[in-house]
Structure 1
Amino acid sequence: MATNNVVKKYTSRIIWSGILFGIGIAAFIDETVFHQLLHWHHFYDKSTKEIGLVSDGFFHAFSWFATIGGLFLFADLRRRQILQFKPWFGGIFLGIGMFQLYDGTIQHKLMRIHQIRYVENILMYDLIWNIIAVVLIILGLFLTVRSRNKAGG
């Protein structure tokens, strides 16, 4: 098992592995559930349906690059025998929450490239989406800060 100094040195890498994995998983779930299964929107809805489908393909590829990048870091940390699950799971919650908050505020409201759902009263969908994102970020921060304090840094 790794010493506290080694864990402290690699805590950021552990957290970033979780963040990348979390971003990838959140994007994958978003694209699978809201784009493909429910047909609520495409990644880019300001053009034709065909362009929307192409944009979903690029979005799907991005989700897998983030997931695989996070897993490569995970495998390296595991090989070095310094993987700590609390900061890793904290990173996952941070990644999911940050992705969801970015999506709900920047893409939905500022850029308006798509909405979560095209209904008359979108406010409830926006509130639920962004409140869940903030809760996930708080949980991720709690786990990562707690693990950093236990590692001495």
Structure 2
Amino acid sequence: MSTPQTGHPAPDFTCVTDGRGELTLSELRGNYVVLYFYPKDDTPGCTKEACGFNENLQEFKNLNAEIIGVSKDNIAKHDKFKEKYGLNFVLISDEDGTVCEKYGTWVEKNMYGRKYMGIERATFLINPDGTIAKIWRKVKVKGHVDEVKSEIENLKKAA
């Protein structure tokens, strides 16, 4: 599967979400969508990233942007993660890896010389028309939320 590129349509999907809901990406057209992939619920980097988006949630809503987190954790883990940190945005359970494959975020990783497959921390900013506006790969958590917010502000100014 090829990795999506900036300017191309964002691959559509329907997934189970926290709270046992369901989300289809194309149903969010008309809004910016911040689709961020993270390795695992309730780990230090993933928690910091999720809390960063959550703390800025109203500002993202004011920019007409939806935040969606994606990991391979199951719904029960997502529900616990959201409750523990008071997260108020959607988390998608991609247990079978379909969404990760579509977005090219299921990659070989290397830690202390050990190679394994895992989710690359990445963010896809999707335009209201469903095309990809910007892609961040191998995201460093510090400053990332502000960078995404600034990108949406710049896109809105240019529109």
Q: Which of the two has greater strand per residue?
A: 2
Is the structural similarity TM-score above 0.5? no
TM-score by length of 2: 0.29
More relative contact order, 1 or 2 (CA 8 Å, 6+ apart): 1
**Whose Rg is larger?**
1
TM-score by length of 1: 0.30
